[in-house]
């Protein structure tokens, strides 16, 4: 007499246990290494004081939709870090002095990289004769009885560099402007090779820190400007490059970032968004060669068209606040 056969062991039961174990392991690993996920990091950037410890390049932050840059020095977007060059540290100290000596009342402060600093007629706070005409354009709109503005721009900075400025005393307590204009992120992608999500996270971190330090001020976030992938302004044969004004992957990523910034600002009462990309792009989708000197920085003609648009947006944003007299 043969004994009844037993049913085979349940494979679904074993698979459920395996998946449960894997899920717990993944959660544990992510909990041990929060920096590897820049969009969910919970660290406080204003308490991050060791730039060498927290700002190591991470190649995982550079991959983007199958597009891999040739180099990668992208860092944690929540981290603050500084250049090792002494000229940059000296520039930080000079910016602090400029901010401390700013007139009061002050309507607006511009925070950004070289795109804003060239409007100040400087590079690393050293006067540049080639940029002095840019400053006259800025002064025409932001050194008037209607509106007083101050530029705190730092050439070459990423969002992480600017976070370091902010958490090391850039904005004095006595400074209480009605608004800040923020334009950062170009160097995250163009020089450090960060992907669009990492770059977005860095910009949002700057917005967060500025709001925390100056909660009564409005923040006008400006979308990234058009930029060529080839960065020909760094090479000696710039004028020989036929594609120097062609838009590519970086501009596609910038458009995505700008759309996300707009959606985010729409959710926050203290934040507004503006975009000026159309000023610098031709009808057939190329960079206007007379409005950008190197496919990244506005020319004098570009600044002449761009600055009044910012001024007009600020007037609407600050309408009703004391000191701003709108036509």
How far, in whole angstroms, is CA 276 from its chain's centroid? 15
CA distance 128 to 316: 32
In percent, the amount of the chain with pLDDT more than 70 equals: 72
The dihedral through the CA atoms of 63, 67, 72, 73 has a sign that is negative
Q: Which residues contact 286 (CB under 8 A, 6 or more apart)?
A: 245, 246, 247
Token readout for 216 is: 């009564």
What is the model's pLDDT at position 224?
97
CA distance 49 to 12: 50
In percent, the amount of the chain with pLDDT more than 90 equals: 57
Superfamily of domain 65-225+242-317: SGNH hydrolase (3.40.50.1110)
Taking residue 166's Cβ as centre, other Cβ atoms within 10 Å add up to 21
CA distance 173 to 89: 21
The answer to whether residues 40 and 34 touch, using CB atoms and an 8 Å cutoff, is yes
Q: Which residues are paired to 150 by β-bridges?
A: 109
β-bridge pairing 126-127 and 108-112: unpaired
What is the model's pLDDT at position 83?
86
- Comparing 41 with 149, the larger pLDDT belongs to 149
Check whether 19 has a pLDDT greater than 60: no
Characterize 105-118 residue by residue with b for buried, 16 or more Cβ atoms within 10 angstroms of its Cβ, and e for exposed. Answer: ebbbbbbbbbbbbb
pLDDT tens for 4-13 read 554 554 544 5
CA distance 41 to 277: 31
Cis preceding-peptide flag for 105 (omega within 30 of 0): yes
3-state secondary structure the chain: CCCCCCCCCCHHHHHHHHHHHHHHHHHHHHHHCHHHCCCCCCCCHHHCCCHHHHCCCCHHHCCECCECCCCCCCCCCCCCCCCCCHHHHHHHHHHHHHHHCCCCCCCEEEEECHHHHHHHCEECCEECHHHHHHHHHHHHHHECCCCEEEEEECCCCCHHHHHHHHHCCCCCCCCCCCEEEEECCHHHHHCCCCCHHHHHHHHHHHHHHHHHHCCCCEEEEECCCCCCCCCHHHCCCHHHCCCCCECCHHHHHHHHHHHHHHHHHCCCCCEEEECCHHHHECCCCEECCCCECCCCCECHHHHHHHHHHHHHHHHHHCCCCCCCCCC
pLDDT tens for 228-281 read 875 544 555 555 555 677 888 889 999 999 999 999 999 999 999 999 999 999
pLDDT tens for 295-309 read 789 999 999 999 999
Cα–Cα distances in Å, from 207 out to 1, 184, 218, 261?
80, 10, 11, 10
Q: How confident is the model at residue 72 (pLDDT cuts 50, 70, 90)?
A: confident
Q: How confident is the model at residue 73 (pLDDT cuts 50, 70, 90)?
A: confident
Torsion of CA 273, 152, 150, 46, to 10 degrees: 70
CA distance 113 to 184: 6
pLDDT tens for 153-177 read 999 999 999 999 999 999 999 999 9
Over the chain, what is the mean pLDDT? 81
């Amino acid at each position: 007499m043969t004994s009844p056969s037993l049913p085979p062991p349940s494979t679904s039961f074993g698979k459920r246990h395996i998946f449960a174990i894997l899920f717990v392991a993944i959660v544990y690993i992510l909990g041990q290494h929060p920096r590897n996920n820049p969009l969910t990091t919970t660290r406080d950037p204003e308490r991050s004081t060791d730039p060498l410890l927290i700002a190591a390049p991470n190649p995982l932050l550079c991959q983007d939709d199958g597009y891999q840059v040739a180099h990668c020095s992208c860092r944690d977007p929540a981290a603050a870090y500084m250049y090792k060059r002494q000229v940059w540290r000296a520039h930080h100290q000079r910016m602090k002095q400029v901010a401390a000596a700013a007139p009061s009342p002050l309507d607006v402060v511009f925070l950004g990289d070289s795109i804003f600093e060239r409007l100040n007629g400087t590079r690393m706070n050293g006067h540049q004769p080639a940029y002095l005409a840019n400053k006259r354009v800025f002064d025409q709109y932001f050194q008037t009885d209607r509106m007083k503005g101050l530029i705190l721009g730092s050439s070459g900075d990423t969002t992480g560099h600017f976070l370091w400025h902010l958490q090391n005393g850039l904005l004095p307590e006595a400074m209480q402007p009605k608004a800040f204009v923020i334009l950062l992120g170009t160097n995250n992608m163009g020089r450090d090779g960060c992907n669009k999500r990492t770059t977005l996270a860095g910009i949002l971190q700057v917005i967060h820190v500025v709001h925390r330090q100056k909660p009564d001020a409005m923040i006008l976030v400006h979308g990234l400007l058009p930029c060529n992938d080839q960065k020909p302004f760094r090479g000696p044969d710039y004028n020989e490059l036929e594609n120097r004004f062609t838009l590519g992957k970086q501009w596609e990523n910038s458009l995505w970032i700008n759309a996300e910034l707009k959606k985010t600002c729409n959710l926050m009462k203290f934040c507004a968004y503006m975009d000026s990309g159309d000023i610098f792009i031709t009808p057939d989708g190329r960079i206007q060669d007379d409005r950008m000197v190197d496919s990244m920085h506005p020319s004098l003609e570009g600044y002449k068209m761009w600055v009044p648009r910012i001024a007009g947006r600020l007037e609407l944003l600050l309408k009703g606040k004391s000191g701003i007299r709108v036509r």
